[in-house]
Amino acid sequence: SQQGEEDPQALSIQEGENATMNCSYKTSINNLQWYRQNSGRGLVHLILIRSNEREKHSGRLRVTLDTSKKSSSLLITASRAADTASYFCAIPPGRRALTFGSGTRLQVQP
């Protein structure tokens, strides 16, 4: 089954900078979700974007979806040290379960 693949694998930025991470996938999707995982914790849902949407905002998060390129991006603006975490995109492969990529590990330096 397909899964999204995040890029880069790791990202280190300074507080106040923007962080951009990308997700690529291979087949058609109905929606794509982004999740966050603090170290040693479970994943938490951040945002869902449907295949007929190009962009979606939630607070400091901005997600885009380009179905022609089969890619999505997650932008965190004005990052904070508390944003340090791993970020995963998730693809629903039909009537089974969400599959996750390997994630982007974001480190925000105070």
Partner 1 sequence: SQTIHQWPATLVQPVGSPLSLECTVEGTSNPNLYWYRQAAGRGLQLLFYSVGIGQISSEVPQNLSASRPQDRQFILSSKKLLLSDSGFYLCAWTRGFELGNTIYFGEGSWLTVV
Site stretch for partner 1 (CB under 8 A), options 15-23, 27-35, 60-68, 73-81: 27-35
Given the complex with partner 1, which of 14 and 30 has the nearer CB atom? 30
Q: Which residue has the tokens 């994630």?
A: 103
Given the complex with partner 1, which of 4 and 73 has the nearer CB atom? 4
| Buried-state track 8-44, b at ≥16 Cβ within 10 A, e below 16 | eeebebeeeeebbbbbbbeeebeebbbbbbeeeeebe
Does position 105 interact with partner 1 (CB under 8 A)? The reply is: yes
Site stretch for partner 1 (CB under 8 A), options 11-19, 63-71, 76-84, 99-107: 99-107
Selected from 13, 56, 92, 107, the binder of partner 1 by CB under 8 A is 92
Does position 45 interact with partner 1 (CB under 8 A)? The reply is: yes
**Which tokens sit at 90?**
């998730």
How do beta strands 104-109 and 10-14 pair?
A: parallel
Does position 19 interact with partner 1 (CB under 8 A)? The reply is: no
- Number of continuous H segments (helices) and E segments (strands) in the chain: 0, 11
Does position 48 interact with partner 1 (CB under 8 A)? The reply is: yes
